[in-house]
Amino acid sequence: MMENLIWGYIYPNEAEIQWSILIVLYPYITGLVAGAFIASSLYHVFGKKEVKPVARFALLTALSFLLVAMMPLLAHLGHPERGIEIMFTPHLTSAMSGFGYIYSFYLIVVVLEIWLSFREDIVKLALNSKGWKELLYSALALFSYDISEKALHDDEKLAKKLAIIGIPSAAFLHGYVGFIFGGIKANPWWSTPLMPLIFLMSAIVSGIALLILLYIASMKLRKHAIDHKCLQSLAHYLWIFLILDVVLELLEIISMKYESLEEIEIINRLLSEKIAFTFYGVQLTMGIFIPFILLLLAGIMKNRQTLKMIMISVSSILVVIGVFAMRWNVVIGGQEISKSLSGTLTYVPVFFSREGVLPAIIILVIPFIILRVVTYILPPWKDMEEESE
């Protein structure tokens, strides 16, 4: 059976593909985090009032996904209790050794940012509730209940500064994931300095698309009208970042084809046989081209809010799937070509196994559960609902 999965000459240690669907999930989840954070900073840093309804919700989304970002890696490597050692004794010749520190720094920024933007609500909840709730919210308020005008103003100033630090660290967190792949010089499909930028742009795209979907879904669940101005504005940013994303992705392919270095034959085989469907079909056509047209139409159409909303949500779904396909094409595609540059392999996903599709689905569902819990403790709905009236 194995013979059908292999073509040409491969090295013995390549016969089994090591980085499975869980490693596809890792950049996908970190990407969603970075994207959601950058969407929230559109309001917090750049003062785009239209996106205010989702600004705090975006931060909570970023936190929920950030908390599971390392889970695919821990599940893939096994021995999760050893994970912390990457921070205790980081080996500086490994690109991966920075992850723990970058991740922790970013987690601190996100948590502080959430705390500052919710502090007024936390204090009010602490003062107006009884029993364990009072204790919970008082602890969250750090037993300091000053919500005078001046205190809140100071909070806002600090939150803005933090968001300014947050953007580069979000970019760093995700650009760095791209760097891990881009820095593997033995693999021609990965080794390009463009990789961090490509990862970053697709991260922003997927984060905004996810935010749009979560916003629409939560407003529908809460039976509340959607703020079309906000939705339109998010769709606009999605469209802009989609352009940047496709430019970079195509630039990589075009320069590879134009330069036609010795690896071009295997890259051509990869693109035309191994990942033709997921690359041209899902990543480019479904994930970029169709949403691009739909968002363009939604942008120039007048009135017809419901139709626009459907178009925007369809594009967002396609974008979220397309970005997953992009991660797949990078992670799996890169391993389907042999280092000999004259052979290919095939990855066959399994469902029930530690490296299988089932754990991947479970890991992908956890952030939504965390988000539900976090939004129960810190409801962001107030500004999502007020604005739309």
Partner 1 sequence: MQPHLKRAFTLLALVIIAFIFVRALVVPASFGQYGWYRGDSVEDTRNRPVEYAGSISCGEENCHKIIYSVWAKDRHKTVNCETCHGPSEKHVGNVRIMPPPANDSRDFCGLCHFKRAARPANFPQIDPETHNKLKCTYCHSPHKPWFI
Here the tokens at position 223 are 């039976």
Contact segment (CB under 8 A) with partner 1 among 138-146, 190-198, 267-275, 290-298 equals 138-146
How many Å apart are CA 86 and CA 96, to the nearest integer? 8
Minimum Å distance from CB 374 to partner 1? 18
Question: Which of 155, 227, 336, 355 forms a contact with partner 1 (CB under 8 A)?
Answer: 155
Contact segment (CB under 8 A) with partner 1 among 74-82, 83-91, 127-135, 279-287 equals 83-91
Minimum Å distance from CB 143 to partner 1? 8
Minimum Å distance from CB 349 to partner 1? 18
Minimum Å distance from CB 160 to partner 1? 14
Minimum Å distance from CB 77 to partner 1? 18
- Please report whether residue 144 would count as binding partner 1 according to CB under 8 A: yes
Site for partner 1, residues 14 to 43, rule: CB under 8 A: 14-16
Question: Which of 13, 130, 132, 348 forms a contact with partner 1 (CB under 8 A)?
Answer: 13
Burial class (CB in 10 A: 0-12, 13-18, 19+), 82: exposed
- Please report whether residue 317 would count as binding partner 1 according to CB under 8 A: no
- Residue 120 vs 387, nearer CB to partner 1: 120
Residues 187, 339: contact at Cβ < 8 Å? yes
Minimum Å distance from CB 49 to partner 1? 26
- Chain residues binding partner 1 by CB under 8 A are 2-3, 5-6, 10-16, 87-89, 91, 108, 112, 115, 119, 141-144, 146, 150-151, 154-155, 158
